Amino acid sequence: MTTAINFQNLTLGYDQHPAVSQLQSDIKEGSLTAIVGPNGAGKSTLLKGVVGSLAPLEGQIVLGSHACKSMAYLPQQSVIEQSFPLSVVDLVAMGLWQEIGPFGRINSERRSRVDDAISAVGLTGFETRIIGSLSGGQMQRALFARLLLQDAAIVLLDEPFKSVDSRTTADLICVIKSWHQEGRTVLAVLHDDETVRAHFPDTLMLARELVAHGPTSKVLTAENHFRARQMCEACDGPPHVCGRDAA
Partner 1 sequence: MIFDIFFQPFYDYGFMRRALYGCIAISFGATPVGVFLMLRRMSLTGDAMAHAILPGAAMGYLVSGLSLGAMTIGGLIAGLTVALLSGFVSRLTALREDASLAAFYMISLALGVLIVSTRGSNIDLMHVLFGTVLALDNAALILLSSITTLSTLTLAIFFRPLVLECVDPQFLRSVSSLSAVTHFTFLALVVLNLVGGFHALGTLMSVGIMILPAASARFWTVSVGGLMTVAFVIAILSSLIGLLLSFNFSLPSGPAIILVVGVAYLISLAFGSADGIITQLVRRSQTTS
145/141 Cα distance (integer angstroms):
6
Between residue 138 and residue 177, which ones bind partner 1 under the rule CB under 8 A? 146, 150
Instruction: For the chain, state the CA radius of gyration.
Output: 18
The beta strands (E) that lie in 75-161 are given as 154-158
Which residue, among 203, 157, 159, 173, has the nearest Cα to 33 in the 3D structure? 203
**Alpha-carbon gap, residue 161 to 182, rounded angstroms:** 21
The closest of 72, 50, 46, 76 to 140, measured between CA atoms, is: 76
CB of 229 to partner 1, least distance (A): 29
The answer to whether 188 contacts partner 1 (rule: CB under 8 A) is no
Candidates 62, 130, 173, 246: give the one binding partner 1 (CB under 8 A).
130
- Phi, psi (deg, nearest 5) at residue 246: -70, -25
Quick one: which segment of 23-31, 35-43, 51-59, 166-174 binds partner 1 (CB under 8 A)?
51-59
CA–CA separation, 161 vs 240, rounded Å? 32
Q: Is 238 in the site for partner 1 (CB under 8 A)?
A: no
Least gap, CB of 189 to partner 1 (angstroms): 14
Site for partner 1 (CB under 8 A): which residue of 101, 107, 166, 223?
101
Q: Does 53 bind partner 1 (CB under 8 A)?
A: yes
Per-position x/- string for 61-80, each x denoting binding to partner 1 as judged by CB under 8 A, each - no binding = ----------xxx-x---xx
Contact assessment for residue 130 and residue 87, using Cβ atoms and an 8 Å cutoff? yes
Which residues 6+ apart lie within 8 Å of 229 measured at CB? Answer: 38, 207
Q: Which is nearer to partner 1, 81 or 236 (CB)?
A: 81
User: Binders of partner 1 among 5-44, rule CB under 8 A?
Assistant: 15
Q: How many angstroms separate the CA atoms of 38 and 1, rounded?
A: 30
Closest approach of Cβ 101 to partner 1, in Å?
A: 8
Interface size with partner 1, residues (CB under 8 A): 29
Selected binder of partner 1 within 3, 51, 173, 227 (CB under 8 A) = 51
Q: Which of 91, 176, 189, 242 binds partner 1 (CB under 8 A)?
A: 91
Work out how close the CB of 211 gets to partner 1 at its nearest, in angstroms, rounded to a whole number.
Answer: 26
End-to-end CA distance of the chain: 31
The distance of Cα 16 from the centroid of its chain, to the nearest Å, equals 24
Question: Which positions touch partner 1 (CB under 8 A)?
Answer: 15, 48, 51-53, 71-73, 75, 79-81, 83-87, 90-91, 94, 97-98, 101-103, 130-131, 146, 150
